[in-house]
Structure 1
Amino acid sequence: MNELQGFSHKRLRVGVDVGGTNTDSVLIDLAYPSEPDKAILAWHKTPTTPDPSDGIKTALSSLLKSTTRKSDIVSVAIGTTHFINAVVERDANRLSRVAVLRLGYPYSKHMRPCSDWPDGLRRLVLGHHALLRGGLQVDGSPIGDIEPAEIRAECTLIKQKGIHTVVINGIFSPLDSAENQEQLVSEIVRQELPGCDVVLSSEVANLGFIERENAAILNAAILRYARQTLHMAVGPESVGRRLTEDAIIFGGAVLTATDCAVSADPNLAIGSPDVLAARLNLSPEEIYNFQQAVKSKLEQAIDSMKTSPEDLPVLLVGGGAILAPSKLKGASEVLRPPWSGIVNAIGAAMAGLSIVVDTIKTIGTKTEQQWLEDIKKAAIRKVVHAGALRSSVQIVELETLPMSYVENKARFIVRAAGDFNYNAPSLEVAVDGMDDANDLVNLADDTKTSRYELKLGAGDFSNATAEETGDLRSYKPKVQDRVWYLSETDIAWIATGCNILGSGGGGYPFPTAMRLRQMIRNGDVIRVVDSHDVDDNAIVGGACFGGAPNVFSERLPADELLEAQNELMRLYQDPITHLNCLEVGGANGMQSFVVGSSSNLDLPTVDGDYCGRAYPVLWQTTPYVYGDRQPVYLPMALSDGNGASVIVSQAKSDKVVERLLRAALSELGSLAGVAVAPASGAEYKRWAIRNTISQSWRIGRAVHLARLLNGLDTMTESIIDECGGTDAAKVLWRGKIVSVKRTLRKAHLYGECVIEGEGGDSFNGHVVIPFKNENIAAIKTSPRNEPTESIALDSEELQGEVLAVVPDLVAVLDAEDGEDIGTQDYRYGQRVSVIGIAASEQWTSTEEGIRIGGPEGFDMGYLKYKPFGKYSAPKSVINEYNIS
C-alpha cells in the first residue's frame, strides 16, 4: 500500500518564499508529489513589500481564496530568509533575548558567548550567560559532573531578567554519551522556568564549539518571531524589489543583469526592448563579456556543490534562470523545469528533514566500517524520530576523518535525510503547538568542518579605534622605544599570517585572536621586542599548546598555558624575562601573547620562533639543527587547565621525549598547555628564525587589504611581495581540489590532496600535495585513472615534477578569502591557490637542517630537497615603525 494512501484529509502544504523582487506562495497536494500539474493546486506571486510581513499576508490570503479545502492544510512553511532578515536588521521587536548556559568549566572561561558578533547584535540578543560544570572530553568522559544547585541558581537570575529562551551548549555535546548532559540540564531548566524555550546545541549543529553555539543562539533568538509569523519580516536594500522601477528596461536608470540579458536575447518577453534599445547600446563584446561572467560564476557554483568530479544534471530555477546559458561546464545537461519561477516556495512546501550525527569513536573496539554501519543506523533512527517517513530516508553524506594526536580515534560525520511523515501522530502538535523549539526553524548550515570562519579584519571590530577603522592602507603599528604594542588590527593581521605560515598544519589561530582582541579591549598590554634587543643573559621561555586541532576547536582554553609556565618555573631560581612562541605557524604562533600579557606574566614576546612555519613533532625545530643541548626542551611542564599537570624532567633522547609527550597528552584530554625549558638570550639568538611575527603581520596585511580593496585576484602576488618577491616566493598552482585521502599513523594525520589545474598556459594537469599534519610538497603529475588503496607517502609511487618540498613552505589558500586551509579540512571542489615560500637558511644551509626539516624528516627520503627560490629574511616591523 502506498504510504500516501489513507490520507482522507490534511494532505495539503503551503510554501512561502520572500524574494528580493517577489513574494511567492504555493499550495501543494501531497497525493501527487511527482506530478507537478496535479500537485500544484494554486500559486500566487506578489511584489515584495518594504515590510515583507505585509507581502506574506497578501500572498497567503490570495492563495487561500483559491481553495475550499483550508481544513486539509497540514502545514505552512516559510523560507528561513524571512527570519534571517530579522537578524540582519537587528530588530528588537523580532529577536528574543537569550540566556546561554555553557557546560565545561573552566574551559572557554576567557571567551564569552557571541564574542565574534557585532556589538549591537550581541547586546540585543545576549541577555545572560554562565559557565557551569559539565562538558565532555574527546573520549566522551566527563570534564566535570553536573551540579543541579548551580543550574537552579542561574535559572533564578534568568527569571529575574525576564528571559524566556535558554541555550545549553556543552563541550563535545554532539558525541554519543551515556550521560546526555545537555538533556539533563534542560530538564532542570524547564522545571525551574516553566514554559520557557530551551535549545540544545547538540540538536542544532556539529562539532565546533563556537559555530555550534552561534547557530543555537540564532535559532533561539528568532524562535518567538517565527511562531508569530506562522500563526498570523526585512532584507538588505536591493534593486530586485524595485526592478520594475529602476531597471533601464522598465524606464529606470540602473543597469541590471536583466537589462544585459534582454540585450543578449531580445526574444525575452520582459519589459520594453524598445526602451532598452533607445537608452542602452551594449557592444557585442560587452554582451559576450556579460555572458561569460555569468557562465563562469555558475560553473564555479556548480563545482562548489558537487561532491565528485562527474558531470551532473543541473536544474535552473528562479527568476535568474533566464540569465544562464544552455551549456555549462560540469553539467551533463541544463534543465529549466516547469514552475521554476516559484521554485523556492515549492521548496519550502516540500522541504524534508535531515539529521547529522557527528561523533568520535575509538578504532580497535570496532573497525572503521563497523562504526560507520552503527552510525548510519543511528542517523536513520534520529531522522525518523524527528518526523521523517522511514521508507524515504537515505544517507546523503558520509565522511570519516582520522584525528591527529589522538590515539586510534576518528571523527565520523553522517547525514540522513527524508520526507516528512504526515501520518505521524505527533505531527499536528509539532506544527501547531511548536512545543519543541527545534521543530520550527533551524538557521544552522551544518558545516563539514570545524574551521573557524571568523575573518578578523579591523573593519569587523565595531569597538576599534578611529585609527584602526580608517583607511587600513595608511595604518601604522604602535612601536615606541623599540617595543611593539599590539592593537586589534595587528592581532587580526598576525592571525591570518600565522595561519598561512602553518602550511596546512598547526591548527587555526582565530580562537586565540578573538581572546586576544577581548584582552586588549579589557586593557591588557601585549608587547613584542626585536631579537637584537635581547641581552645574552636574558632567559627566554617557550609557550605552546600540544594536542589535536579538533580538540582545540571544541575545548576552548582555560589557563593551561599560564599554569604550565608556573609549574615549570618552580624548578628555576631565576624568573624568565622573555617569551618565545616556538612555532609561528598555526595556532601556536600567538600563544606567547596570552601568557605574556600584562594581566598574566607581563613579559614581551621576542619577534622570532624556532620553525618559521609549523612542524608536526617537537624535534623538528631549529635548536635540534645546532645540537647544543640533548634533549633541548627538558624539563618540560604540561597542564590541562583543570587541575592536572605533568613534569617531564629527563629522558634519554628527543624521540623518547616525543613519546612521553604524546602519552601525557592522551591522559590530559588530548590537549594541554606546554612550557619548555627556557633558553639563554645567546642561545635564542643562535637558534631563532628572526622577525617571523613581523612576517606574519605583513602577510596578513596583504590578505586583509586585498579583501578590503576587492583585490583577491592579485592577493597571492601581494603575499609574494611581502615574502621577498618572486625570488623568494611564487604561485605554484591554481585550481580545484578533486581528491583527498587520509589515514592515521602513530597519532599523525597522513594523506594527499590532488588539485586539478584551472587551465591556461601555466596550470594544466594535476598537482599532488602529500601531507603529515602539514603539507610536505607540491608535485606536478598526471591524473590517476584509479585511486590506489595506499597513500603515496608509502613509496616512491609519487612521481612527477617537484614544484616545492619541505623545508620550503607549501600553503593551500582558499581562493575566496585567502585563508590557509588546514589539511584536516581539504574537501572536493574547493578552489585554491597554492603558494610556495622559501625556508629560512637555518633549515637549508646545513645537511642536518635538511635532514630534520626536509623530506627525510617526514619519512619521504626518496624525495630530495631542491630549493625553488632564495630565502629573503623578513623585515622587522619594529625597525620600520619605531618612534624613539
Structure 2
Amino acid sequence: MTVSQSPLRIGVDVGGTNTDAVVLDLTPGCAAPVLAAHKAPTTPDVAEGIQAAIAATLAVAGVDKRRIQAVAIGTTSFVNSLIERDATKLERVAVVRLCGPFSRRCPPFASFPYELRAVLEGPVFFANGGLEVDGREIDPIDPAEIRAICAAMRERDVRAVVVSGCYSPIDDEFRQEERVGAIIRAELPGARVTLSKDVAHIGLLQRENATILNAALLRYAESTVAGFRASTAALDLACPIFLTSNDGTLMTCDQAARLPIRTFSSGPTNSMRGAHFLASLTGAKRETALVIDVGGTTTEIGVLLPTGFPRQAGAFHELVGVPLNFSMPHVHSMGLGGGSRVRVGEKTTVGPDSVGYRITEEALCFGGRTLVATDIAVAAGKGGRIGDASLVAGVDEATVKSAQARIKAMIELAIDSMKTSAADVPVYLVGGGAILVPDDLAGVSHVHRFPYYDAANAVGAACAQVSAVIDTFEDTSTKSIAVVQREVEARAVARAVANGADPQRTNVVESEAIPIAYTTGKCRFYVKAAGEWTGTAAAQDEAASAGAEFKWDASSPVTLAVPANGKRELPNLDVQVTAADILAYRPTIEGPHWVLSELDLEWIAAGCYILGTGGGGNPATTMLSIRELVRAGGKVRVMDLESLPEDAKVVWGGGIGSPEVVLERLDGGDPSEATRALLDLVGVSASAVAAIEIGGGNGMHPMATGCSAYLDLPVIDGDFMGRAYPTGWQTTVNVFDAGDRGEMSLPNAMCSGNGNNTFMTSAKHYLDIDRIMRAGCVEMGTHADVACRPLEKSFLRKALVRNTVSQAWRLGRAVALATKQANIGNVGRVLVDAVGGDKAAKVLFAGKITDVGRHTHKGHTYGEISIQAMATEEDDSRTPKQRFEGVMKIPFKNENLMCKHVVGDKETIVAGVPDLISVLDAQNGLALGTPEYKYGQRVLVLGITAAPQWTSTKRGLELGALPAFGYNVPYTPLGEYVQPTSVIQEYAVVA
C-alpha cells in the first residue's frame, strides 16, 4: 500500500479497564496530528471492543476511510491468558533441544512452576547439534535422529513444538534450528513450530522458556489476530493491521500470530512512545525524560531516552514465575492511582490498596463512601470535570494537604530511583490519574501535561516504528571493538530497512558491547535499529518456510525416540512457602550429614551469588540441574571437615572458563568426569569433594559431582577462597603451599564434557597453571570442569575456609525471609545479621548505578561502576534506615575489588579485597554479577570481612589483597572475621 499525501493511522490500546483509540495525521509538519480520540470500557470480547472503539473514533474524526494507512493495536490479551493459566487458550508444548552432550542436566521446563508445567509440559528431547561460543558446531544435525523424534511426537499427537539450540542466535552459517524446523514441519504437517532464535536472544534457558510460552499461545494468537482482522474488515478498512511489540515497534499480523510473546509489555511501551510523540508536537528537545503513567490502581514510571524509546530492563526477568530474556521496558510500579485508598491517622497514607474499577461507585466524589486519591484532587480543585466537587466539601483542608504531601513524597522517591544522574529531568504525565501529580517536584525541571495525555497509549501505538535487533558474538581479534560495533550497527539498520523501515529515517536506538570474561578476541554485541514505516506492507513473513531449501533422506525407516521426561510424574501444585514456614524450617541432618532439600538448594544458590562478589557466574542453572537430580531421587550430602576420618582424601575443583558461556552451554554430561579421571590417574579413592570457591556457580558444582547419582560422596562445608577470585592461583591452597610451583594443586584433570580430557602434572610456577589451563579451556569451548590434587585432612585444617556452604545457606534464607516478611527495605541489615553482626559485615552504601564502564584485557573483564546516593524514604521508627551521601565507585576485575567513597573532593577507600564486596539489587536483595550491572539499577553494597586464611599471613595478602591487582593500597580490615556456624552443628538432633 502506497503512502497517501496525508497518511492517517489509527492507534488502539486495549487495557484491563479501558480501550483507547486515536486517529493520527502523520503528515510531516502537521500542527494538529491528533484528529480524534475515544475511550471506552474494555469488553470481554476484545475484538468487539476494538471494533467499537475504532468506529467511534472514525465517527468523531469524520475522515475518508481510504486515507487510513494502517491500524496499530496494543493488547494485553495474550499475556493475560498466560497469567490466568487459561488451559482453553494454551497448548501443551514439545521441546527439541539441540545441544549434543551438553545442557542435559538442566532440561526444558526445569525453571517453570509446577502448576504451569502441568498445563504446558509436553515431551522433551535432546538431540545432536548446537554451537560453541566461537561459532563451531558442537555436533552436526542428524536428520535421522530428528525424524525419530518426530515419530515419537506424532504418536503423542503433538501440535506445538519448540526447537532451541545452543548459541542459535549467532548461527547464520549452519542454520541448525531452521533445518530441524523444516524436518519437523515435513514430518508433522499442521504442527506449529517455533524456533528459539526468532523469539529472544543470548541465554539458552531463558530464550527457550520464552519460546515455550510463545508456542503455547499460538493457537489462541491465530484466532485472536483473525478476530482483529475481521473487526477492521467489518468497518470497511482495507489497510494493513499491525500489533505493537514490547519495544514500541510494529509487528505484522502474521508476525504477531507467530510471536505473540512480543506483545506482552506493549502497554507501558505505548504510553512512553505516545508521550514522546506528544512532546515532539510542543517542540520539546530530544532529551532523557521520565514518563509517569498514573492509572486507577498503579503508577508506572519509565525512562524515555533521547531516541524516543524506553530504556530496557535488565537482560533477565520473570513472568508468571518463569525466567525470561526477551526485550521489556524498565518500569517502576507503585501502588498509587486514582482509586488508591486514603487513610487518615497519626500518619496519612495513600494506597497501595485501591478501589480499582469500582471508583465510580465507591469514591466520595461519585457518591460513594471511600476516600480515595481522586477525591483529594477534586477537593483541591484539580479534578476538572471529574465527579461532583460538592460531595468532597466535607474533606478538611488538613487531610487534603497531608494526602497531597504523601503523594508528592511517593512520586519524588520513585522519580529519584529512576533517574540516572543528579541533574533535574523533565517529566511527561500520561494516564487518567495524572491529576494527582503536582507541578512542583524535587529533581524535576518541568512537569508536562500535553493535550491528549490520557490517550498517550493509543497515540504510541499509532506512531510505532519498524525495528530490527542483532544480538551476536563477534571476532575482535583483528579489529577493534569500536569498529566491529559499527559494522553490527550497519547490519541492524539494513535489517530494519528490509523489514519496511524508511532508509532515510532509520537509526540505531540501542547499542552495547559486552566483553566476555576469560576470553580474548571475542565480544558480544547487542544492537537495535528503528525507523519510520514506509507505508508499504512488510515483506511476507518467511519464518513458516524457513529451512525449506534443505534436503534430507525422508524415506529411511526410523525407530521412536524416547522423551527425556517420559517417566517423570511431577506435582500439579507448587508449595507456597510463607515466612512462618521459613522460620519453622529445619534442615535434614542424618548422622554427620546434612541432606539437602530443594529449599536448601535455592537458598544456597542465592547465598553463593552474594559471596561471588560480582563474579563466579550466576548459580541459577547449576541449582536447577542439581534440583532435577534431587527430584529424580538423588541425594546430596554436606558434612563438616572434622567428621572426616583422619586419613581421608578430599578432591576439590569446579568449572573453569567464562561464566557467559554457561548462559548457553548449560550443565550437561557427567559432572564427576574430571574427578574420576584424576582419581584414576593418582590411584587413590576420595572420601569427599569440595569447591574451589563458594562464590558463584562453583559453590554448588561439587554438589552435582558428589550426588548419589554420580560419585555418592559428601561435600565438605567449606571452600578455598571464601568468596570468588578471578584466577585459579588465588586460593587458600596456594596460600599454604610451601613452594611456588603449585604442588598442592597438581596434578589436575580438565574435561570438556564431549571427550577432550587433559592432565597437568607439574608447573614451573603456580602462575603458569592458570595460564596454560585457560588456553586449553578456550579450545574446549571456553568452559570445562577441573578436579585438583586430593588433599589430606591435616592440610585442610589450615587451608579450608570453614562452613561457607552454611554461610551461603544463611544468606539465601535471610533474603527469602525478608521477602516473605515484606522487609526487603531492610535487607542490608538482615544480611549483616546473617553473616555475624556489625563486627563481621557492613552495609557500605546504597543508591543507584549512574555509570558503567567495561573492557577486557588478557581474557578478564575490567571496569568500574559509580553508584549515586539517593533520597531515602521517611524512616519507620522501628527500622531506621541508614543514609548515605556522595558517590561510591567500585572497580572490578571479574569480581569487585574495592569501594572508593567520594564526597565532594574527598575520596576514601572504605573496603578492598580480600574482604568481600557484594552489590545487591535493592528491589529483591539478590546479588548482581558484574556482567549484569546496568545504568539506573537501585543497589546496596554489602561488605563482609575476609577469612583469616587471607588476612593473617603475608602470603595471603600478597595473593589476595589489592596489590595483587595492581593497586598500591595496603589492606585495612573492614571488621572482625566471624566464622559461620555450621548448619549441621546447629540443627543436629542430640540424642
TM over 0.5, shorter chain: yes
Q: Specify the SS of the correspondent of 1:17.
A: strand
Contact 2:477 2:520 in 1 (8 A): no
Among 936, 945, 960, the alignment partner of 1:829 is 936
Q: Is the 8 A contact 1:102 1:130 kept in 2?
A: yes
The answer to whether the aligner puts 1:293 opposite 2:406 as a matched pair is: no
**Partner of 1:323 in structure 2?**
436
Which residue number corresponds to residue 453 of structure 1? none
Distance 1:191 1:112 in 2: 26
Q: For the residues of structure 2 that align with 1:287 and 1:89, how far apart are their CA atoms?
A: 36
Describe the superposition over 1:568-612 as per-residue Cα deviations: whole angstroms up to 9, x where unpaired. 121133321111012111111111111111111111111111111
Relative distance call for 1:109 and 1:740 in structure 2 (3 A) is same
Q: Which moved more, 1:388-397 or 1:579-588?
A: 388-397
The AA in structure 2 aligned to 1:269 is: R
Give the direction of change, closer, same or farther, for the CA distance of 1:139–1:282 in structure 2 (3 Å limit). Answer: same
CA change 1:115–1:85 in 2 (3 A) is same
How far apart are the structure 1 equivalents of 2:669 and 2:989? 34
Task: Say whether the 8 Å CA contact 2:120–2:216 is kept in structure 1.
Answer: yes
Asked if the contact 1:48/1:241 (under 8 Å) is kept, the reply is no
Could you tell me how far 1:180 is from its partner in structure 2?
A: 2.2
C-alpha displacement at 1:720, in angstroms? 0.3
More displaced, 89-98 or 367-376?
Answer: 89-98
Q: Distance between the aligned counterparts of 1:843 and 1:265, measured in 2?
A: 66
* 8 Å CA contact 2:517, 2:658 repeated in 1: yes
Give the secondary-structure state (helix, strand or coil) at the position aligned to 1:571.
helix
| Bigger Cα displacement from structure 2, 39-48 vs 586-595 | 39-48
Q: Which amino acid aligns with 1:411?
A: R
- Name the CA shift for 1:253/1:675 in 2 (closer, same or farther; >3 Å): farther
Aligned residue pairs total 833
Structure 2 segments unaligned to the other structure (5+ residues): 229-263, 268-296, 298-352, 547-570, 873-881
- Partner SS state of residue 389, structure 1: strand
SS for the counterpart of 2:399 is: coil
1:773 aligns with 2:872: no
What CA distance in whole angstroms lies between the structure 2 residues aligned with 1:840 and 1:156?
57
Give 2:458's aligned residue.
Answer: 345
1:726 is matched by which residue type in structure 2? D
SS at structure 2 position matched to 1:542: strand
1:693 Cα deviation from its structure 2 partner: 0.8
Query: Is the contact made by 1:299 and 1:328 (CA closer than 8 Å) also made in structure 2?
Result: no
Structure 1 position 240 matched with structure 2 position 356? yes
CA-CA distance at 1:717 after TM superposition = 0.2
The reply on whether 1:103 has 2:98 as its aligned counterpart is: yes
2:857 counterpart (738, 745, 753):
745
Q: State the match for 2:908 in structure 1.
A: 801
**Contact 1:406-1:670 at 8 Å conserved across structures:** yes
Match of 1:448 in 2: none
2:518 to 405, 410, 424: 405
Matched-pair contact (CA < 8 Å) for 1:752–1:768: yes
Where does residue 530 of structure 1 map in the other structure? 640
Would you say 1:868 and 2:981 are equivalent positions? no
Change (3 A) 1:80 1:45: closer
Aligned residue among 842, 845, 849 for 2:956: 849
Aligned residue for 2:224? 229
Q: Using the alignment, how far apart are the partners of 1:163 and 1:493 within structure 2?
A: 37
The residue that corresponds to 2:16 in the other structure is: 20
Amino acid at match of 2:404: I
Per the alignment, do residues 125 and 574 of structure 1 end up closer, same or farther by CA in structure 2, a change over 3 Å counting? Answer: same
Does the 8 Å CA contact 1:94/1:225 hold for their aligned counterparts? yes
Distance 1:275 1:505, change over 3 A: same
Q: 1:464 to 1:636 in 2, by over 3 A?
A: farther
How far is 1:632 from its partner? 1.9
Matches within 5 A, 1:148-159: 148-159=143-154
| CA shift for structure 1 position 477 | 1.5
Distance 1:310 1:150, change over 3 A: farther
- The answer to whether the Cα contact below 8 Å between 1:813 and 1:832 also exists between their aligned partners in 2 is yes
Read off the aligned partner of 2:173 and give its amino acid letter: A
Q: Once the two structures are superposed, what CA deviation does each residue of 1:170-222 show, in whole Å capped at 9, x if it has no partner?
A: 11112253222222223333333445443322232221112212222223332
**1:481 deviation in Å?**
2.3
1:848 aligns to what SS in structure 2? Answer: helix
Distance in 2 between residues matched to 1:877 and 1:333, nearest whole Å: 55
Q: Report SS of the residue matched to 1:672.
A: strand
User: C-alpha distance in 1, partners of 2:733/2:59?
Assistant: 80
Q: Distance in 2 between matches of 1:825 and 1:852?
A: 27
Change over 3 Å in CA distance of 1:619–1:323 after alignment to 2: same
* 1:113-152 alignment, distance < 5 Å: 113-152=108-147
> Take 2:354 and 2:544, find their aligned partners in 1: how far apart are those partners?
36
Residues 379 and 395 in structure 2, CA contact (< 8 A), matched pair in contact too: no
Measured after TM superposition, the shift of residue 808 of structure 1 is 0.6
| Matched residue, 1:790 | none
For 1:356 and 1:435, locate their aligned partners in 2 and report how far apart those are by CA, in whole Å: 20
- Cα deviation per residue 1:442-480 (whole Å; 9 max; x = unaligned)? xxxxxxxxxxxxxxxxxxx97566888963222221223
Question: How many angstroms apart in 2 are the aligned matches of 1:201 and 1:469?
Answer: 37
- Give the corresponding residue for 1:793: none
Q: Is the 8 A contact 2:3 2:69 kept in 1?
A: no
Q: Distance in 2 between matches of 1:615 and 1:608?
A: 15
Residue 767 of structure 2 is matched in structure 1 by: 655
- Cα distance in 2, alignment partners of residues 34 and 127 from structure 1: 54
Aligned equivalents of 2:577 and 2:40: distance in 1?
47
Secondary structure of 2:150's match?
A: helix
1:422 and 1:764 map into 2 onto residues whose CA distance is 52
Give me the whole-angstrom Cα distance separating, in 2, the residues matched to 1:492 and 1:385. Answer: 45
Q: Is the CA contact 1:620–1:853 (under 8 Å) kept in the aligned structure 2?
A: yes
State how 1:396-545 maps to structure 2 within 5 Å.
Answer: 396-424=509-537, 426=538, 471-545=581-655
- 2:170 aligned partner, one-letter code: L
1:461-518 deviations in whole A, cap 9, x for unaligned? Answer: 9756688896322222122323211111111111111111111111111111122222
**What is aligned with 2:242?**
none
Match runs of 1:273-284 below 5 Å: 273-278=389-394, 282=399, 284=401
CA contact (8 A) 1:134 1:146 kept: yes
Identity score, percent: 41
Q: How does 1:572-721 map to 2 (within 5 A)?
A: 572-628=682-738, 630-721=742-833
Shift of 1:5: 7.7
Question: How far has the Cα of 1:128 moved from its partner?
Answer: 3.3
Tell whether the 8 Å contact from 2:25 to 2:34 is kept in structure 1 after alignment. Answer: yes
Contact 1:208 1:553 in 2 (8 A): yes
Quote the offset at 1:273 in angstroms.
3.5
Report the residue type matching 1:471 in the other structure: D
Contact between 2:14 and 2:75, CA under 8 Å: does it hold in 1?
A: no
CA 1:856–1:727 in structure 2 vs 1: closer, same or farther (change >3 Å)?
A: same
- 1:346, distance to aligned residue in structure 2 (A): 2.0
Query: Judging changes above 3 Å, is the alpha-carbon distance between structure 1 residues 294 and 91 closer, same or farther for their aligned structure 2 residues?
Result: same
The change in CA–CA distance for 1:61 and 1:759 in structure 2 (over 3 A counts) is closer
Alignment partner of 1:47 is 2:160? no
Residues 579 and 821, structure 2, Cα contact 8 Å, conserved in 1: no
TM-score for the superposition, normalised by structure 1: 0.88
1:260–1:290 contact (8 Å) kept in structure 2? no
Supply the AA of the counterpart residue of 1:275.
L
> How far apart, in 2, do the equivalents of 1:270 and 1:719 lie?
48
645-654 or 597-606: bigger deviation = 645-654
Distance, in Å, in 1 between the alignment partners of 2:633 and 2:379 is 58
- Displacement of 1:815: 1.0
Change (3 A) 1:587 1:313: same
Q: Distance in 1 between matches of 2:99 and 2:617?
A: 21
Report the alpha carbon displacement of residue 231 of structure 1 after superposing the two structures with TM. Answer: 2.2
Do the aligned partners of 2:417 and 2:848 also contact (CA within 8 Å) in 1?
A: no
Q: 1:763 aligns with which of 874, 881, 884?
A: 884
Q: What is the Cα deviation at residue 357 of structure 1? A: 1.2
Q: Distance in 2 between matches of 1:212 and 1:265?
A: 50
How many Å separate the matches in 2 of 1:120 and 1:644?
40
1:556 corresponding residue in structure 2: 666
> Deviations along 1:641-669, whole A, 9 cap, x unmatched?
11211111222221111111111111100
Alignment of 1:55-70 (within 5 A): 55-63=49-57, 69-70=64-65
